[in-house]
Amino acid sequence: MLTSKQHQLLHFIQERLSSSGVSPSFDEMKDALGLKSKSGVHRLINALEERGFIRRMPNRARALEILKSPDQGPATNTNNVVSAPFGKASTDRVPVENDNSVEIPLHGRIAAGTPIEALENSDSFISVPTGMMGRGNCFALEVSGDSMVELGILDGDTVVIESADTARDGEVVVALVDREEATLKTIRRNGQFIELVPANRDYQTQVLESGRVQVQGRLVGLIRQYH
């Protein structure tokens, strides 16, 4: 059973594929569904993929295939495979594909300090080694701040995140607070509360009611550039 938003997004993608053969951008999806940010589109796409309605082609972060619709059942039209970007235009660079690396979405900045908005930019991609990928869908975020330095996560690093809505105590996660602000912290549960623990003694642990925190993904890799 799909939610109304999932159903609406699936039909919107189908209509655009049928009319133009090109998937709508994240901005177009956001506007069509009346969402406040593209992070909501990202979560809806993940949900549709988990339920078997769409599929992102292996090692091709910008290719989308519709497998079935709630009204018509399994799709048989192979023209539903789209290699155009989810993002702005087909003039963007073509993703690099080989046996050693894969391109994943780069969604913007994530705070390792005071929480800031994250998962807003879905039009950029980054190439990462295949061995760094988790078992599920992955995306990348640029780290802003120094609250995780004692775990070797520095300001300006790029972290690779495996999409997930659960995590074990002690894992480093992207945590969404009050559905508005995201931060990169170690998660720890304490009764009815969740603790978001920094790795810098200059910062304090955030203790929040469990209902205020949503896990968005788990840290699986880190990329650092030396200049």
* Mean per-residue pLDDT over the chain, rounded: 76
**pLDDT at 6 > cutoff 70:** yes
Has residue 89 been placed in a domain? no
Residue 130 lies in a domain: yes
Lowest-confidence range among 6-10, 17-21, 162-166, 222-226?
Answer: 17-21
Q: Are residues 217 and 157 in the same domain?
A: yes
167 and 212: one domain? yes
Q: Looking at the domain assignment, is residue 87 inside a domain? A: no
Residue 95 inside a domain? The answer is no
Kindly tell me if the per-residue pLDDT of 54 is higher than 90. Answer: no
The beta strands (E) that lie in the chain are given as: 54-56, 64-66, 68-69, 73-74, 101-111, 124-129, 138-144, 158-163, 172-177, 181-190, 193-197, 206-209, 213-223
Q: 29 lies in a domain?
A: yes
Element (DSSP H or E) covering residue 117: none
How far CA 113 is from CA of 32, 116, 145, 182, in Å, comes to 33, 9, 5, 10
**Looking at the structure, do residues 76 and 105 belong to the same domain, yes or no?**
no
> In this predicted structure, which of 121-130, 133-142, 166-175 has the lowest mean pLDDT?
121-130
Q: Is 185 a catalytic residue?
A: yes
* Pairwise CA distance, residues 221 & 203, whole Å: 23
Q: Which residues pair with 133 in a beta bridge?
A: none
The CA distance from 171 to 114, in Å, is 19
94 within domain boundaries: no
- Tens-digit pLDDT profile for residues 63-113: 567 787 766 544 433 333 333 232 323 333 333 444 567 778 888 788 777
Q: Domain containing 60: what range?
A: 4-80
Same domain, 133 and 186: yes
CATH number, domain with residue 128 = 2.10.109.10
Same domain? For 135 and 65 the reply is: no
Q: Are residues 24 and 64 in the same domain?
A: yes
Q: Which of 30, 38, 144, 185 is catalytic?
A: 185
Residue 205 lies in a domain: yes
Active site residue 37: no
Question: Which of 87-91, 133-137, 156-160 is predicted least confidently?
Answer: 87-91
| 119 and 31 within one domain | no
Asked if the model's pLDDT at residue 192 lies above 80, the reply is yes
Our count of domains for the chain comes to: 2
Q: What is the domain-level CATH number for residue 24?
A: 1.10.10.10
* Residues 53 and 121 grouped into a single domain: no
Tally of CB atoms within 10 A around 177: 17
In the chain, % of residues over pLDDT 90: 26
Of the candidates 19, 147, 163, 210, the residue annotated as catalytic is 147
Is the residue at 96 inside a domain? no
Beta carbons within 8 Å of 109's beta carbon, 6+ residues apart: 116, 118, 141, 142, 143, 144
